[in-house]
Amino acid sequence: MSDTHAQTVPFVRDTMLPPAPPPSSQAGAVKWLRQNLFSGPLNVVLTILGILIVWFLVGHFWDWFAHSVWNADSLADCRRIIAETWGEGARGACWAVVRERWNQYVYGFYPVELYWRATMTFGLLFVALAPVLFSESVQIRRVVLGITTVLTLWLMVALGAPMAWLVFAAVVLVGSILISERHPSWLLVFSVLYPLLGVWLLWGGSAWGPIMVLIGPVLGWIAWRLVGRVSGLLATVAALIVPLVWWVVFAGDAAKDAQSIVSLAIPAVDSDRFGGFLLSITIGVAGIAMSLPLGIVLALARRSDMFLVKTLAVIFIEFIRGVPLIALLFVASLLLNYFLPPGTTFDIILRVIIMVTLFSAAYMAEVIRGGLAALPRGQYEAADALGLDYWKAQRLIVLPQALKISIPGIVSTFIGMFKDTTLVTFVGLYDPLKSMSDAVRASTSWKGIYWEPYIFVGLIFFLICFGMSRYSMYLERRLHRDHR
C-alpha cells in the first residue's frame, strides 16, 4: 500500500525551506487602517473619495466656523466685528443669536420668572425614568440621578427658584438617590405619579385637578374588588366605568369645592406660551409614553381571532398609516371642536398629543406585530402546554420576546415621532425649528440670520435622538441572552 502511494506522489520535498521574514505588524493603527479603509481596491477608492469630500467641506466651511462671533447685540454688529477682525469680505458665523436668544429656543414664550418650574419638571422626569430605563444597572442609575440632582438644583438656583421649591426639589432628588440604592422599585410609585405632577407644574393652576384625576383609578379598584365577588366580567366593566363617570361628572366640581376650602394653586400658564424644546419634549415624552402601550394593544388586536376586533384594528392602523401626520394635526386644530359639545374648550397641546400618539401607535403596532410574527410557533405551543390563559401567555412568554426583537424598530419610531414634533408649527404652535427661528428673525436686531438657528436646533435634536439610539443599543446588549 505504501509502495503504491510513493509511486503516485508526483513530488516530495526532501529539503527544508529557508526561513521567511516575519509578517508585517498586525496591531494598532496599521491593522485598523488595513481592515477598515484599505482592505481592497473598492474600499481604497471609497476611502480616497471620502477624504476628498471631507477636505472639500472643511475647506469650504472652515473659515465660516473659524470666524465665529459669540458676543454681539445684533447681526449688523456681528458683521462689523468680522470685518474689523478678518478684513472686508470675510465671512463668519454669528452664534451671538444663540447666546442672546437661547431662552426662546429652550422655553419659548414661557414666563421668565417661571423658568425654574419647567427646569424642575424635566429634572424630575429623569427621576421617574431611572427605575424604568435603568432598573438593573445600579451604577448607571446612580450616575444619572447624581448628575440630574446637581444640574437641576444648580439651574433652579441660577433661575431664581423660591426657597420652598428648592427644598422640595432637593428632597425629591436626593431622596431618589437614597431610595434607588436599596429599594429601586419604590421609585416606580413616583414614575406613576409623575405625569400628573408634571402637568400641574408646567401648566400650573390648582393641584386639586390632578388629585381628583388620581382618585379615579382608586375608585375603579374599589369597584373591581367589590363587584369581583359577584362576577369577573362585571368587575372589569365596573373598573372601567366608575373612573370615567367620576372624571366626567364629579371630578370638576369636586376640585373646585376642594380649592375653595384649601387653596393649592400655583400661577397658571396658557398653552400658547409654550414653545421651543419645552414644547417638543412635552409632546414627545407624552407621545412616547402613551403610544407604546397603545401600539401593543393594536398589535394584539390585529392578530386576534375575533373578527370584529381584528377588523377594527386593521381599519384604524391602515387609515392612520395612509394619512399624513400634518392632516391629522389640522383635524386636531380645526375640526375636532365641531364634534364636541358647544362651549367645550379642548387644549390645543392636548389635541396635538392625542393625534401624535394615535399616529405613532399605528406604526408601533406594525413594528410589534413583526416581532410577534418572528417568534417560533413553539413558543405559543409551550404557553398552551403550561396551561396559561391568553393574557398570562402574552405577559410572561410572548410579549417579552417580541418586544426584545422589536427594540430597534420601536426606538426608530420614537425618534421619528420626536422629530415630527416640529410639524406643530402648521397648527400655530411655536416649534423650535421654524416658528421660533421666525420669531427671532422678526426682531430688527436679528433680521437676516438664517443658518445659525437651524444648526443650533439641529444639533440639539441630534443629541437627543442619538441618546435614544445609544440607549437602544445598550438595551439590546443587556437583553442579548440567546448565546450566554
Q: Note the pLDDT tens digit of each residue in 85-94.
A: 888 888 888 9
**pTM of the predicted model as reported, rounded to 2 decimal places:** 0.87
User: Angle at CA 304, nearest 5°, toward 302 and 306?
Assistant: 115
Whether residue 112 is predicted with pLDDT greater than 90 in this model: the reply is yes
Whether residue 382 is predicted with pLDDT greater than 60 in this model: the reply is yes
Within 10 angstroms of residue 286's Cβ, the number of other Cβ atoms is: 20
pLDDT at 483: 47
The Cα 150–Cα 315 span in angstroms is 49
Whether residue 294 is predicted with pLDDT greater than 90 in this model: the reply is yes
Judged by average pLDDT, the poorest of 227-236, 388-397, 429-438 is 227-236
- Segment 6-34 shows an average pLDDT of 72
Burial class (CB within 10 angstroms; exposed 0-12, middle 13-18, buried 19+) of 417:
buried
pLDDT at 343: 64
Most confident of 23-27, 220-224, 274-278: 274-278
Whether residue 262 is predicted with pLDDT greater than 60 in this model: the reply is yes
Within 10 angstroms of residue 115's Cβ, the number of other Cβ atoms is: 20
Whether residue 468 is predicted with pLDDT greater than 70 in this model: the reply is yes
Q: Note the pLDDT tens digit of each residue in 417-434.
A: 999 999 999 888 899 988
Whether residue 3 is predicted with pLDDT greater than 90 in this model: the reply is no
Q: Residue 205 belongs to what H/E stretch?
A: strand 205-206
- Segment 45-68 shows an average pLDDT of 90
Q: Note the pLDDT tens digit of each residue in 323-346.
A: 998 888 888 777 776 766 666 677
The Cα 429–Cα 21 span in angstroms is 71
CB-based burial, 127-150: b 16+ in 10 Å, e otherwise: bbbbbeebeeeeeebeebbeebbe
The Cα 395–Cα 344 span in angstroms is 39
Whether residue 26 is predicted with pLDDT greater than 80 in this model: the reply is no
Q: Note the pLDDT tens digit of each residue in 401-418.
A: 888 989 999 999 999 999
Q: Report residue 7's pLDDT band, with 50, 70 and 90 as the boundaries.
A: low
Residue 274 is classified by DSSP as -
Q: Report residue 1's pLDDT band, with 50, 70 and 90 as the boundaries.
A: very low
The Cα 206–Cα 227 span in angstroms is 33
The Cα 413–Cα 296 span in angstroms is 13
Rounded to a whole number of angstroms, the CA Rg of the chain reads 30
The Cα 178–Cα 186 span in angstroms is 11
Closest CA to 330 of 343, 348, 345: 348
pLDDT at 158: 93
Whether residue 396 is predicted with pLDDT greater than 50 in this model: the reply is yes
Q: Report residue 484's pLDDT band, with 50, 70 and 90 as the boundaries.
A: very low
Q: Are 273 and 285 in contact (CB under 8 A)?
A: no
Cell of 17: 525551506
- Segment 282-304 shows an average pLDDT of 93
- Segment 165-171 shows an average pLDDT of 94
Whether residue 282 is predicted with pLDDT greater than 90 in this model: the reply is yes
pLDDT at 330: 85
Q: Are 225 and 217 in contact (CB under 8 A)?
A: no
Torsion of Cα atoms, 208 then 210 then 216 then 217, to 10° = -140
Mean pLDDT rounded to a whole number for the chain = 87
Residue 314 is classified by DSSP as H
